[in-house]
Structure 1
């Protein structure tokens, strides 16, 4: 059914690759519609992502029509009725209408059908169960339009059954609520997620990582994360303590800096107090090498960064480099005591935007010319000289630099008697 609203003005319905696919499938007694997230996003005036298409035509017929029209087809999930059509370089998943015969976790045995209502009823949430036909008419068989108006994320049918079909839907419930919902999560869905939380253990780490990183940067992430923590869900995912206060503070800090939400920063604020936490999260979520290294660096002695004078902060920036300095400083800010002056933290975090560390002006040859032989002693002397250079606030004048070299060599030689 439809309540009269439509998407006749949607550009992807009127021209372009999607319109071509719909025209290909909407003949000879078959019907095709755009379904799911694209319809939801268009109705909620948010950017539309991938366009998925459902059809009454069987997969073999979809392939036959595509071949006749010179369109590339890829059998990406043909056993479940999905064929990917590539038009002008743009892929479209085209799936034959289905109904579940038997479900067991992520897998399902399906039968192809021609009933749009039965197909909609097997989906996850009401706002994802909408479809739009080529004429722009929106079809709603599950109450999705009312839930869009209410900004409510609600499971289709029995929440416990929907979750048992795929436990990743627990994370999707909170992620989609964070992106599209308002207020507290739907109570029936929330309680079903709590009842089904043991099923999270059977999910692959890669799928959990993908959903969590998307959730953490959604507009409503703070409220969704707090609800997940209260329901004991994050403990199952993280395997350790979570810190909702620093997570909220990180969101506030990013907003103060007018910076795009960073999923790794937010993950660190939520789950990392020490480097051991970072390593546990990297393993449990199968983070990429870059994500794991960033998280590990954030957790390393972040507590030493508060209340620094800028001269000390410059030395930290020089040692850490811009990315590690900024990330660690952001975690320190998020975990700072309440009442800390945000202006001071903003000045420290934005230091890389105002000051660029110079290159250490002394080379190995400078010390070898002063009698230091190659080997461990040379490296030690260079490190001591660099420390002295930092302590003197990065001087670059020739006299000051040469004096540092002379003094370092003399001190080291006197203490160790290794040369001269």
Structure 2
């Protein structure tokens, strides 16, 4: 399509933005109800270019080259969504660009130099956004399904041709115009999520693109999964076995807390990507009871682990943690959500009509041990087939439990010998205090010794 000005391209445009997808899996087909929402894009709305990006534009132009904002931020903006992190491409070798940025006083971090990428921060780190990834325009010389050997190319068309999806091959230029070499905006408006060029080739270049397709499908494929994409996922699902656990975990962490997560997991299962990527088959059905999780709320760090506990076979936390190379803390949380989130616990954790101490008594041991009680409630409730109340879950997660008025020192001072018996006695007294709705005093608890 080439380049066009943002205001002209969006004049009186009605962008079909898919917002809601209901999850239902029937045999090998992914059935979903997709709600299309018309959104009128105003002429005055330009892409919000932050100062750091403006500086990179100017530096590239002064050097006789060109920089562009590219990818997901442009896609989301054109879809009427809040743009996320900004990525840029520059039509010069990355070493040359990095030197220009440094001379201009910018901080350059060589996060992926051999892949043609650096991270650029404003002087003092006060700019918004705090950092921008800048990548040279490039072509792939060789790929192995996990990593690519790249080479510089100043050709923007070739740079677009190596990207994953047409809707991610959209660029904002320095003058505010949109460069759309692959008709990505037409796909965006039509609710089509398509690989660039040959879908099978794109997947063979990087098998993680299969998981990424599943993640983006609920939001950007209102017309339904692309048949060529689905065929490529089925044909090449086995390539996901070679992906690093960290890359798979990073993609899952975003997928599982997003709207339409059940549909995304259903597509993974339908195509066999789940077993290849995770080493086991998953069941998306319980995700229908779990609303999307706010990435900035009390479940930001571990919400995806609760969703993972819902889709995995019960008891498989350890092999899954090993496959995903989870940190010790995340592995423990996944195991705790699986073990503690039993359906029989759900009534004790549910929002009480008149007595909040019911759930407080139930979760006190969890909060004492550092377990996110709100996510235990999420797992337990979803396993009963009930709908999760995230507001109540947040209350559980943020509750500041009272401190038990007695300790082991108190028992020692009352003549109890140090040893296993002391621990058992302390547990008994703590439970007695919890059962009293936290009302018994230290004196009352020690009176029976």
* 1:193 equivalenced with 2:237 (yes/no): no
Per the alignment, in what secondary structure is the counterpart of residue 54 of structure 1?
strand
Residue 216 of structure 1 deviates from its aligned partner by: 0.9
Ranges in structure 2 where 5+ consecutive residues have no aligned partner: 8-43
Would you say the 8 A contact 2:337–2:375 is kept in 1? yes
Q: Which has the higher contact order (CA 8 A, sep 6+)?
A: 2
Partner of 2:424: 380
- Decide which of 35, 44, 50 is 2:79's aligned counterpart: 44
Q: CA deviation at 1:397?
A: 5.1
Listed one character per residue, the Cα deviations across residues 367-399 of structure 1 (whole Å, up to 9, x for unaligned) are 456543333333333333334444444442577
CA contact (8 A) 1:9 1:136 kept: no
User: What displacement does 1:353 show?
Assistant: 8.0
Cα offset for 1:196? 0.6
Q: Is the 8 A contact 2:243 2:277 kept in 1?
A: no
81, 91, 98: which one aligns with 1:56: 91
1: distance between equivalents of 2:144 and 2:85? 27
Shift of 1:305: 0.8
Partner Cα separation in structure 2 for residue 280 and residue 216 of structure 1? 19
Q: CA deviation at 1:100?
A: 2.8
- Consecutive unaligned residues in structure 1, runs of 5 or more: 410-420
Rate the CA distance shift 1:304–1:164 in 2: closer, same or farther, 3 A.
same
* Cα 1:325–1:114 shift into 2, 3 Å: closer
Partner of residue 261, structure 2? 221
> In 2, distance between residues paired with 1:19 and 1:208?
34
Instruction: Look up the match of 1:333.
Output: 381
Between Structure 1 and Structure 2, how many residues are aligned?
395
Quick check: 1:280 aligned with 2:326?
no
The residue number in structure 1 matching 2:28 is none
Shift of the 348–221 alpha-carbon distance from structure 1 to 2, 3 Å rule, reads closer
1:35–1:130: 8 Å Cα contact kept in structure 2? yes
How much has 1:210 moved relative to structure 2?
A: 0.1
In 2: Cα distance, 1:120 partner to 1:347 partner: 43
Given that 1:19 and 1:134 are in contact with CA atoms closer than 8 Å, whether structure 2 keeps it comes out as yes
Q: How high is the TM-score relative to the length of structure 2?
A: 0.77
Deviation, 1:91, is 3.5
Tell me how far 1:350 sits from its aligned partner.
Answer: 7.2
Deviation track 1:207-245 (CA, whole Å, cap 9, x = no partner) reads 000001111112221211122122222222333342322
Q: How far apart are the structure 2 equivalents of 1:401 and 1:10?
A: 67
Structure 2 residue corresponding to 1:112, chosen from 152, 174, 198: 152
Q: Which moved more, 1:348-357 or 1:53-62?
A: 348-357
* CA distance in structure 1 between the partners assigned to 2:177 and 2:430 by the alignment: 70
Tell me, in whole angstroms, the C-alpha distance in 2 between the residues paired with 1:103 and 1:355. 50
Higher strand share: 2
> Displacement of 1:201 after TM fit?
0.5
Query: Is the contact between residue 272 and residue 299 of structure 1 (CA under 8 Å) also seen in structure 2?
Result: no
The Cα shift of 1:315 comes to: 3.4
Contact 1:297 1:324 in 2 (8 A): no
Partner of 2:31: none
- What is the TM-score of this pair, normalised by structure 1? 0.81
Quickly say closer, same or farther: Cα 1:108–1:372, change in 2 above 3 A: closer
1:318 equivalent in structure 2: 364
- Identify the match of residue 141 of structure 1 among 156, 166, 181: 181
Kindly indicate which of the two structures has a greater share of residues assigned to helix.
1
Distance (whole Å) between structure 2 residues aligned to residue 386 and residue 63 of structure 1? 60
Q: Residues 236, 58 of structure 1: CA spacing in aligned structure 2 closer, same or farther, 3 A cutoff?
A: closer
